[in-house]
Chains A and B, each alone.
Chain A
C-alpha cells in the first residue's frame, strides 16, 4: 500500500511546454520531498518542503506543499530534454520512522 498517489503516471511532452505533477495523500506529513531518478540509478533529492503552504523554486521547477500538509505539486516551466526522468514524491509522517514514496511520474520531454 502506497500512501502517496502521483498523477499523471506517465507524461510525454514537447520541449518548451509546461507541466504539473501532483502528489496526493489522505495522511498528514511532517515534511515532503521530491526526487528525480534516472534509469539504473538511485533517486536524487530535488527539494524538501516542511511548512504547510510553502512554495520553493529551483530554477524552472516550482514546488508547493499543501496547506493541510497532505499534498504537493511540482511545476516545470519550459521543459527541456534533460528534465526526462522518474519524479517521485516522498513523505514521512510525524513519527519520522518510515518514509513513504509516491507511485512515481515518468516524464519524457521530446526535443
Chain B
C-alpha cells in the first residue's frame, strides 16, 4: 500500500511534555499538509510544504508548534510544552501540485490522535 502513513497512531502524554509526529506522504507528491481536527468538527489547516519549503502557516499555529520537511519527503510536527487544549487528531495529507488551480487532490493519512492529560 503506497498511501499516506502517520506514526504513531495514538499518543498519550502529560501536560508540559514535548511530542513529535511523523508523516510519510505518497512518494511522488510534492505537497504535504498538516491539519488538526477535534471531535465532530472539520479539519483545521495548520501548515503546508511544497517540497522542503514551508510556504504557509495558519495563524492558529502557536509558537509551540513547529513542522519540518527536511528532504522534501517525510515531515515531522512537534508540539512543545503540550497543553490539554492540544488534544486532537492530527492529520497529514499529500498532493501533487500540477500548476493548475486547486493544488491537486489531497490524500489523507489515518491521523495521530493526541491526548494530553
Binding site for B on A (CB under 8 A): 2, 4, 6, 30-31, 33, 35, 40-45, 48, 50, 86, 88, 90, 92, 94, 96-104, 106
Contact = CB atoms under 8 A, between A and B. Distances in A.
B40 A104 contact: yes
Contacts of A33: 105-106
Given A40-B110, A98-B48, 16 more contacts: A2-B42, A40-B113, A41-B110, A42-B91, A42-B108, A42-B111, A43-B43, A43-B91, A44-B108, A50-B102, A94-B101, A96-B101, A97-B48, A98-B45, A102-B42, A104-B41
B42 A48 contact: no
Contacts of B110: 40-42
B102 A48 contact: yes
A2 B43 CA distance: 10
Interface residues of B, number: 26
Contacts, number: 72
Contact of A88 (B33, B42, B45, B58): B42
Contact of A101 (B4, B40, B44, B55): B44
Contact of B102 (A31, A41, A98, A104): A31
Contacts of B91: 42-43
A9 B111 CA distance: 22
Interface of B: 4, 33, 35, 40-45, 48, 55-56, 58, 91, 93, 101-103, 105-111, 113
B102 A30 contact: yes
18 contacts: A4-B42, A30-B101, A30-B102, A33-B106, A42-B4, A42-B108, A42-B109, A42-B110, A42-B111, A48-B105, A88-B42, A90-B42, A94-B101, A98-B45, A99-B45, A99-B103, A104-B41, A104-B42
